[in-house]
């Protein structure tokens, strides 16, 4: 059995880079492009022996309305809605984290008590293995006027990582796939006059203490940027990751680890990350 996972931030609020809120036409085009991407990708990789899972961040729920109710795309779409409010003149649209699989015949069960910025589901595979998928999008809820990276650091350290740790206490013996947009780079170092911040410490916590291995470790993609930043094209930023628990690391296909962009380079400011495992 082959499992393929893709994590991708679709940059629902990309208007911040062009300096103006999305118009209704912009939003319509963005939604239609997203539907076409999803449809093409699922058809392209629709192989009977393969099960694909997508972990999406900053994705519009509306994008999936037609797909959810279509006979061909009705199986196992799950989402966790984070926001549904106008912000700074932006269009009022529900958006958030999505975990989806249209080829998995088993039900995706929500793992309860998820904090904002984390969505976790579990499912029983046909071979009897229990799969736990954790989708992360580190966000800011206070202190927008301050250093964004410091706020991301605090959220990841104080909310996201402790929640992952609590999930692992119950699910450690199962196959764990952790992925998403962590909004944090290993090389991040900062000091706000009171506290020092070091991104490597957070990733050491994930890998050395939680025993979740970075799936790009040992590949050419380990230090590769996953961001497309129009404001600073020379800046290397790796925010998007996949981790797998060390008990299942041996099943990871290292030669099939991918970090790439979609053909439409302006659709989102993130590369997608894709991994596969053979069980």
* pLDDT for res 192: 77
DSSP states along 10-46? --TTTHHHHTSPPPHHHHHHHHHHHHHHHHHHHHHT-
Query: Nearest-CA neighbor of 225 among 70, 88, 2, 233?
Result: 233
DSSP states along 64-121? GHHHHTSGGG-SSEEEEEEE-S--TT-----EEEEEE-SS--SPPEEPSSPPTTEEEE
The answer to whether 157 and 198 have CB atoms below 8 angstroms apart is: no
* pLDDT for res 117: 79
Q: Name 270's bridge partners.
A: 227
Residue 107 and residue 122: Cα distance in Å, rounded?
8
* pLDDT for res 89: 44
pLDDT tens readout for residues 136-148? 998 765 544 567 7
Q: What global pTM score does this model have? A: 0.85
pLDDT tens readout for residues 148-205? 788 889 889 998 999 999 999 999 999 999 999 999 998 888 887 778 899 999 999 9
pLDDT block averages, 10 residues each, the chain of length 279:
90 52 55 68 65 84 55 52 48 68 62 70 87 88 64 90 92 95 90 85 96 96 81 71 97 92 69 93
* pLDDT for res 256: 92
Query: Nearest-CA neighbor of 52 among 278, 276, 279?
Result: 276
Return the half-sphere exposure (C-beta side, CA atoms, 13 A cut-off) of residue 129.
19
* End-to-end alpha carbon distance in the chain: 5
Domains of the chain: residue spans and CATH: 2-278 (3.60.10.10)
* pLDDT for res 268: 79
Which residues make Cβ contacts (< 8 Å) with residue 188, sequence separation at least 6? 149, 153, 197, 198, 199
Burial of 94: CB neighbours in 10 Å, binned 0-12, 13-18, 19+: middle
* pLDDT for res 164: 94
Distances in whole angstroms, Cα of residue 264 to Cα of each of 103, 204, 211, 267 = 26, 35, 36, 6
């Amino acid at each position: 059995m082959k499992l393929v996972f893709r994590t991708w931030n679709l940059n629902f609020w990309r208007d911040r880079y062009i300096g103006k809120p999305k118009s209704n036409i912009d939003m319509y085009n963005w939604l239609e492009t997203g539907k076409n991407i999803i449809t093409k990708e699922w058809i392209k990789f629709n192989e009977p022996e393969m099960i694909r899972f997508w972990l999406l961040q900053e994705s519009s729920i509306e994008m999936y309305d037609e797909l959810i109710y279509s006979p061909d795309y009705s199986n196992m779409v799950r989402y966790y809605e984070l926001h549904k409010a106008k912000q700074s003149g932006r269009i009022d649209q529900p958006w958030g984290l999505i975990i989806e699989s249209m080829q998995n015949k088993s039900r995706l069960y929500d793992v309860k008590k998820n904090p904002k910025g984390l969505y976790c589901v579990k499912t029983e595979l046909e071979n009897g293995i229990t799969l736990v998928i954790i989708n992360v999008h580190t966000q800011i809820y206070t202190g927008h006027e301050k250093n964004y990276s410091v706020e991301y650091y605090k959220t990841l350290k104080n909310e996201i990582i402790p929640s992952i740790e609590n999930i692992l206490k119950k699910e450690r013996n199962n196959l764990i796939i952790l992925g998403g947009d962590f909004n944090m780079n290993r090389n991040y170092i900062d000091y706000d006059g009171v506290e020092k911040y070091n991104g490597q410490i957070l990733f050491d916590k994930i890998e050395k203490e939680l025993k979740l291995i970075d799936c790009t470790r040992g590949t050419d993609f380990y230090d590769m940027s996953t961001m497309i930043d129009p404001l600073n094209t020379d800046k290397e930023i790796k925010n998007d990751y996949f981790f797998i628990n060390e008990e299942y690391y041996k099943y990871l296909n290292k030669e099939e680890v991918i970090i790439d962009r979609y053909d439409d380079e302006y659709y989102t400011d993130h590369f997608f990350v894709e991994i596969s495992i053979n069980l």
